[in-house]
Amino acid sequence: MGLDISLTVNGQPVRRSVSAQRLLITLLREDLGLTGTHPGCDTAQCGACTVLLDGAAVKSCNVLAVQADGAAVTTIEGLATEGGPLHPMQRAFGQHHALQCGYCTPGMVMRAVAMEREGVPAEPDAVCHALAGNLCRCTGYHGIVNATCQGLREMRGATP
């Protein structure tokens, strides 16, 4: 028997009946078609599946859908509207060439966005430390760190 949950995903109300074991990543990808959230390791190590849960970065492979009941979830698709301007963090990733194959990128961007609320300083050492739970198998960390620093500065009001 399913459990009824209601949550907000990218600003849209969502109601579903889910099994107790259903993962948040599965709800997002398979039930809602939000495939920008990537599965990587399925063991909470790579960060490719990172989304915001009430503003905090979580690894959606490690969160049950029922744990998101009543919460607001933001995925990479929710950072910008179609045809609208990119989120400053997305723009910074583009400007710094902070992606190669792009597989880790949605998780990296969501983790980077969450750093603003956490008060992570926009400087490389602090950003490296905060990014420790997100892996890039293309090893493009230099650009990712620089992009995150720029994105954080812009989110805090600096002009690009």
Judged by the rule CB under 6 A, the positions of this chain that interact with ligand FES are: 39-42, 44-49, 59, 61, 99-105, 136-138, 140
Rounded CA separation 43/25 (Å) = 12
Rounded CA separation 114/99 (Å) = 19
Which is closer to ligand FES, CB of 124 or CB of 143? 143
Q: Give least dist CB 44 to ligand FES, A.
A: 5
Which is closer to ligand FES, CB of 50 or CB of 150? 50
Q: Give least dist CB 40 to ligand FES, A.
A: 4
Buried b (16+ CB within 10 A) or exposed e, 110-149: bbbbbbbeeebebeeebbeebbeebbbeeebbebbbbbbb
Which is closer to ligand FES, CB of 35 or CB of 45? 45
Q: Give least dist CB 96 to ligand FES, A.
A: 12
Q: Give least dist CB 22 to ligand FES, A.
A: 15
- Contacts with 100 (C-beta within 8 Å, 6 or more apart), sequence order: 136, 138, 140
Which is closer to ligand FES, CB of 32 or CB of 46? 46
